[in-house]
């Protein structure tokens, strides 16, 4: 996952070993990566992964990346176990993936940490302006609060829970009528 250096701070992902990305991690500098604890345990066991290298092999021109840090695990889904995760600095990500199906850089998500008092409706115009400064070719859409994102992520679970509750209520009514009869 390509991220900016401030992503970890915005999402409150804590550093366990090593360092976060910084201004020295440029495209011309040696490429770096940060892994989560699950990745470190799975591929390195009790060894410290910092200083070791890995190659993502997304494209033929991929360079080896030095693991410079280990961060805490983040659950990608509400009740799922944490998955192995590799974070790369988006400054060190190719602008266009070469090959038969050349495709543009990554889809970007802009994360903004704001206080509850600020309110999304008040920030929306500034967020649109900031996104336009970053990339005019892709206008922003779908500006949401983290609460809205989490609510949408649990939609299907709430639907199944409501169905199960309805069936349980019907079973209770049928059992009550049967006992009464």
Query: Are residues 24 and 93 located together in one domain of the fold?
Result: yes
**How does pLDDT run across 133-180, given as a tens digit for each residue?**
777 766 777 777 777 777 777 788 888 999 999 999 999 999 999 999
For the chain, what percent of residues have pLDDT higher than 70? 81
Query: Are residues 16 and 69 located together in one domain of the fold?
Result: yes
Query: Which of the two residues, 173 and 57, has the higher pLDDT score?
Result: 173
Residue with tokens 């609510």: 151
Give the residues across from 91 on adjacent strands.
Answer: none
Query: Are residues 16 and 79 located together in one domain of the fold?
Result: yes
Query: Are residues 22 and 73 located together in one domain of the fold?
Result: yes
pTM, two decimal places: 0.69
**How does pLDDT run across 82-112, given as a tens digit for each residue?**
899 999 988 887 655 555 444 455 566 767 7
Indicate if the alpha-carbon torsion angle 59, 61, 62, 64 is positive or negative: positive
Q: Is the pLDDT of residue 27 over 70?
A: yes
| Total number of domains in the chain | 3
Q: Is the pLDDT of residue 131 over 80?
A: no
pLDDT, mean of residues 44-48: 94
For the chain, what percent of residues have pLDDT higher than 90? 39
Question: What CA–CA distance (Å, rounded) separates 132 from 127?
Answer: 9
Query: Are residues 77 and 133 located together in one domain of the fold?
Result: no
Reduced to 3 states (helix: H, G, I; strand: E, B; else coil), residue 104 is strand
Question: What CA–CA distance (Å, rounded) separates 79 from 81?
Answer: 7
pLDDT at 95: 59
pLDDT, mean of residues 30-46: 94
Question: What CA–CA distance (Å, rounded) separates 38 from 70?
Answer: 10
Question: Which residues form the domain of 24?
Answer: 2-106
Query: Are residues 8 and 70 located together in one domain of the fold?
Result: yes
Query: Are residues 88 and 159 located together in one domain of the fold?
Result: no
Query: Are residues 96 and 128 located together in one domain of the fold?
Result: no
User: Do 119 and 108 touch, CB atoms closer than 8 A?
Assistant: no
Packing angle of the helix pair 146-153, 155-180 (nearest 10 deg): 50
pLDDT at 38: 95
pLDDT at 173: 96
**How many residues belong to the chain?**
181
Tell me what the pLDDT averaged over the chain comes to: 82
Query: Are residues 171 and 138 located together in one domain of the fold?
Result: no
Query: Are residues 42 and 121 located together in one domain of the fold?
Result: no
DSSP count for the chain of H helices, then E strands: 5, 8
Q: Is the pLDDT of residue 58 over 60?
A: yes
């Amino acid at each position: 996952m390509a991220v900016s250096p401030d992503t970890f701070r915005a999402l409150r992902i804590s550093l366990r070993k090593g360092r976060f990305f910084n201004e020295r991690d440029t495209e011309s500098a040696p490429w770096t990566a940060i892994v989560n604890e699950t990745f470190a345990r799975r591929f390195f066991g009790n060894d410290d992964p910092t200083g070791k290298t890995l190659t993502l092999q997304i494209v033929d021109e991929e360079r080896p990346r030095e693991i410079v840090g280990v961060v805490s695990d983040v659950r990608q889904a509400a009740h799922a176990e944490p998955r192995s995760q590799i974070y790369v600095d988006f400054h060190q990500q190719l602008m266009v993936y070469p090959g038969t199906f050349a495709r543009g850089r990554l889809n970007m998500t802009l994360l903004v940490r704001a206080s509850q008092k600020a309110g999304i409706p008040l920030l929306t115009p500034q967020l649109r302006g900031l996104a336009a400064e970053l990339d005019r070719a892709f206008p922003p859409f779908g500006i949401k609060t983290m609460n809205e994102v989490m609510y949408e992520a649990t939609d299907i679970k709430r639907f199944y829970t409501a169905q199960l509750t309805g069936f349980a209520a019907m079973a209770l009514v049928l059992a009550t009528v049967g006992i009464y009869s």
